[in-house]
Amino acid sequence: MDSRMLEGLGIDLDGLMERVMSSTSLLERLLRAYLEDKSADKLTQAVEQGDADAALMASHSLKGLSANLGFTKLHELTGTQCSLFRAGMTAEAFGLTAQVLAEDRRLKEGIRHALQ
């Protein structure tokens, strides 16, 4: 696992290592689980269907994952998106989807490389 590459992605690696009690094997398992997570797919589908409730649930799932894994930018984006959904600002929340999905793809791509 390439720690420098993970840090280069903007991941709070120090905080994440603290949460996993410095267990690199646990860290790798969590990162691999994130790679398999389907929340971004669910968000895409919900937005395509215009389903704000399902989109909020998917965005909220990504928000929780990103908080636990130290993905600062994704956490900020999904936090804003969730707040917009909750405020009834559906169009604005849907409008953030492209940024959320782009950040999710960027992280997944970088993590794949870091774990090789």
Q: What is the DSSP string of 17-70?
A: HHHTTT-HHHHHHHHHHHHH--HHHHHHHHHHHT-HHHHHHHHHHHHHHHHHHT
Tens-digit pLDDT profile for residues 34-48: 999 999 999 999 999
Cα separation, 43 vs 29, in Å, equals: 23
Q: For the domain 3-115, what is the CATH code? A: 1.20.120
Q: CA 65, 86, 47, 11 torsion: positive or negative?
A: negative
Q: Quick one: average pLDDT of 84-93?
A: 97
Cα separation, 18 vs 58, in Å, equals: 27
Q: Quick one: average pLDDT of 67-82?
A: 96
Q: Quick one: average pLDDT of 73-95?
A: 97
Tell me the pLDDT band of 110, cut-offs 50, 70 and 90.
very high
Q: Which amino acid is at 84?
A: L
Q: What is the pLDDT of residue 23?
A: 92
Looking at residue 12, what DSSP letter applies? -
Whether the predicted pLDDT of 1 surpasses 90: no
Q: Quick one: average pLDDT of 3-32?
A: 91
Cα separation, 112 vs 107, in Å, equals: 8
Entry pTM: 0.91
Cα separation, 14 vs 34, in Å, equals: 18
Q: In the chain, what are the domain boundaries?
A: 3-115
